[in-house]
Amino acid sequence: MTISIEEQILRKIRKAKRGSLFFPEYFSAFGSAGTVGKSLFRLVQMGELYRVATGIYVRPGKDEVLGTVLPGIEEIAEAIRKRDKARIVPTGSYALYKLGLTTQVPMNVVYYTDSTARKIKVGKQTITFKRASARNLSAIGDTSKLVIQAMKTIGKDKVTEEELGKIRELLRQEKPFHLQHDLKIAPEWIRKLLKP
């Protein structure tokens, strides 16, 4: 008995934990892109999958209080990073938000990438991947790479003492090796401000 493409896809997604993200190419072994696309469309209609954005699907999580739980911007960006085997770095207002230097959630989240530049609409928010130089992507510390991007966003002579205090406090949690590495590649004015 032959199993339909839809059934094969369904089996694969049911093996994954709830909240897992899927791209149509994950199912390319089951049939042509067109057939896979139609099957995914039907699975969305059946409620087995949820279409997060064009070409991105999730097996939604379930919560007793919240109901259907969908992945956040960061999880989607991370799934795209893994699929493209790329490097990504949050920039601009999103870097500021992640560091707690602003409480405003940005509607347009921008990541630098060494992969394809693209825009992905997720609900009311947009994830933008911008091609960037290797230098912009070579920071290795989780906190220090955000700090460099956040400070570039604030601007050379606009960083307040309060922001600087908060940034230095955050950098105390960074691995010393990562911090040293990232300070070497940061713009000189950022190095000068953070050195003390």
Residue 118 and residue 129 in contact, taking contact as beta carbons nearer than 8 Å? yes
Mean pLDDT across 53-79: 91
Tens digit of each residue's pLDDT (9 = 90 or more) over 100-123: 999 998 999 999 999 999 999 988
- Beta 88-90 vs 67-69: how paired, if at all? unpaired
Exposure letters 107-125 (e unless 16+ CB within 10 A, then b)? eebbbbbbbeeeebebeeb
* SS3 call for 184: helix
Cβ count within 10 A of residue 6: 20
Residue 89 and residue 139 in contact, taking contact as beta carbons nearer than 8 Å? yes
Q: Average pLDDT of the chain?
A: 93
Radius of gyration of the chain (CA): 20
Percent of the chain with pLDDT over 70: 98
The type of residue at 102 is T
Domain 5-69 adopts which CATH fold? Arc Repressor Mutant, subunit A (1.10.10)
pTM of the predicted model, to two decimals?
A: 0.88
Sequence ranges of the chain with CATH classification 1.10.10: 5-69
pLDDT at residue 184 is higher than 90? yes
Q: Going by C-beta distance under 8 Å and a sequence separation of 6 or more, which residues neighbour residue 180?
A: none
pLDDT at residue 196 is higher than 70? no
Tens digit of each residue's pLDDT (9 = 90 or more) over 135-171: 899 999 999 999 999 999 999 999 999 999 999 999 9
Cβ count within 10 A of residue 157: 6
